[in-house]
């Protein structure tokens, strides 16, 4: 079977990596991607062969709208004649449309209910797969009127995290803090840039603070600050490196924040937009907290009182979700 996977953002590499390796044992897997954040670097780190088709349109909504049909047509041109049997993406809006034009059945996986282009993917995909925390919202908004919706257990991060063992930092002292910056160019993000600057200054006075920028623009922004004690990570780090060296994680985004929370690292979401249902789910399961107006005293108090959550149930759901997604992919690829 020929399987096409489109990876359009950094988190998609972690999500699909183990799935790709499993599928490659019996099938041919064709990977496409675009230049956004650390996507290409992470694919290189995994050792996968891929083809870059297009880049990111930036923060402009008009440019995003214009870029959508351009990339869809570029994908159809690249894939024509490759005899693809089935396709899948996570939050990649282009794949369902391109697959429909090529007559290829597709699965669209998504866990962000605020993504405005979801409806396009829902219309074109054969199956839409969403996490358990979105089930009630899906019923309320009648997503089943647009697509065949399948709910998978748990949250997406557990789908791939359950496959690996991670060695956590266990020195018992707060020394190293990792911070993931906000998604400046995302269409769903509207908060001001650099809102964490004051907090970063205070934290860097007392601790080793590692900033994980999303792109060169953010990298240059934080390097220009020249704050003593602030380390701007200039190369892409794998998750294992971060986990083994991190005492506390502060995330202004989504996926990486949830990853560290599920793995038991003391985690604070400082996300400035409307929280996703998957974030609320992990907060309810005591995996992390959310504080959009975080102060250094609150950081220290949280670390002092933090208790490692038991994510065993979430990990088990991840194992079940992994098999559910693969089974559905192979089923529609075989015409079932």
Are 275 and 127 spatial neighbours (Cβ–Cβ below 8 Å)?
no
Residue 55's pLDDT band, with cuts at 50, 70 and 90, is low
Per-residue pLDDT at 56: 58
Q: Is residue 59 pLDDT above 60, yes or no?
A: no
Indicate whether 188 and 303 sit together in one domain. yes
Q: Give the range of the structural domain holding residue 109, as residue numbers without chain letter.
A: 2-162+316-333
Residue 169's pLDDT band, with cuts at 50, 70 and 90, is low
d(C-alpha 309, C-alpha 261), whole Å = 9
The CATH number of the domain where 52 resides is what? 3.40.50.2000
In a domain, 77, yes or no: yes
The sign of the dihedral angle between the CA atoms of 183, 185, 191, 194 is positive
User: Token pair for residue 36?
Assistant: 């956004």
In a domain, 258, yes or no: yes
Indicate whether 322 and 308 sit together in one domain. no
Indicate whether 301 and 329 sit together in one domain. no
Indicate whether 81 and 224 sit together in one domain. no
Candidates 172, 136, 171; CA nearest to 151 is 136
Helix (H, G, I), strand (E, B) or coil at 107: strand
In a domain, 300, yes or no: yes
Condensed to tens digits (0 to 9), the pLDDT of residues 127-157 reads 999 999 999 999 999 999 989 999 999 999 9
Indicate whether 185 and 292 sit together in one domain. yes
Indicate whether 127 and 59 sit together in one domain. yes
Indicate whether 266 and 203 sit together in one domain. yes
Indicate whether 320 and 305 sit together in one domain. no
Spatial strand order in the sheet of 28-35: 51-55, 28-35, 2-7, 86-90, 106-109, 127-131, 148-152
For residue 141, how many other CB atoms are within 10 A of its CB? 12
Q: What does the DSSP assignment read for 153-212?
A: SS-HHHHHHTTS-------SS--EEEEEPP-TT-TT--SPTTTTHHHHHHHHHHSEEEEE
Q: Is residue 66 pLDDT above 80, yes or no?
A: no
Candidates 145, 264, 270; CA nearest to 198 is 270
Number of domains in the chain: 2
Candidates 112, 90, 241, 91; CA nearest to 164 is 241
Condensed to tens digits (0 to 9), the pLDDT of residues 254-310 reads 999 999 999 999 999 999 988 999 999 999 999 999 999 999 999 999 999 998 777
């Amino acid at each position: 079977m020929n399987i096409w996977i489109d990876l359009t953002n950094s988190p998609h590499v972690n999500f699909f990596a183990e799935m790709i390796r499993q599928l490659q044992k019996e099938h041919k897997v064709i990977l496409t991607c675009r230049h956004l954040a650390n996507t290409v670097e992470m694919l290189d780190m995994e050792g996968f062969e891929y083809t870059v088709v297009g880049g990111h349109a930036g923060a402009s909504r008009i440019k995003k709208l214009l870029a959508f049909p351009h990339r869809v047509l570029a994908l159809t041109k690249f894939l024509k004649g490759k005899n693809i049997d089935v396709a899948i993406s996570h939050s990649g809006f282009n794949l369902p449309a391109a697959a429909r034009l090529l007559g290829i059945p597709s699965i669209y996986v998504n866990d962000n209910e605020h993504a405005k282009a979801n409806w396009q993917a829902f219309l074109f995909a054969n199956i839409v797969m969403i996490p358990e925390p979105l089930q009630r919202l899906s019923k309320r908004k009648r997503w089943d009127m647009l697509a065949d919706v399948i709910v998978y257990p748990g949250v997406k991060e557990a789908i791939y995290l359950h496959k690996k063992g991670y060695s956590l930092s266990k020195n018992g002292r707060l020394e190293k803090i990792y911070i993931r910056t906000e998604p400046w160019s995302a269409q769903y993000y509207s908060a001001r840039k650099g809102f964490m600057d004051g907090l970063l200054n205070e934290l860097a006075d007392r601790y080793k603070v590692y900033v994980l920028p999303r792109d060169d623009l953010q990298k240059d922004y934080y390097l220009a600050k020249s704050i003593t004690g602030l380390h701007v990570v200039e190369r892409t780090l794998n998750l294992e490196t971060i986990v083994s060296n991190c005492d506390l994680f502060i995330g202004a985004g989504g996926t990486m924040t949830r990853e560290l929370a599920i793995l038991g690292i003391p985690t604070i979401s400082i996300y400035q937009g409307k929280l996703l249902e998957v974030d609320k789910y992990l907060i309810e399961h005591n995996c992390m907290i959310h504080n959009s107006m975080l102060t250094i005293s609150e950081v220290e108090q949280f670390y002092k009182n933090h208790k490692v959550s038991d994510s065993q149930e979430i990990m088990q759901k991840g194992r079940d979700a992994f098999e559910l997604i693969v089974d559905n992919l192979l089923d529609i690829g075989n015409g079932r």
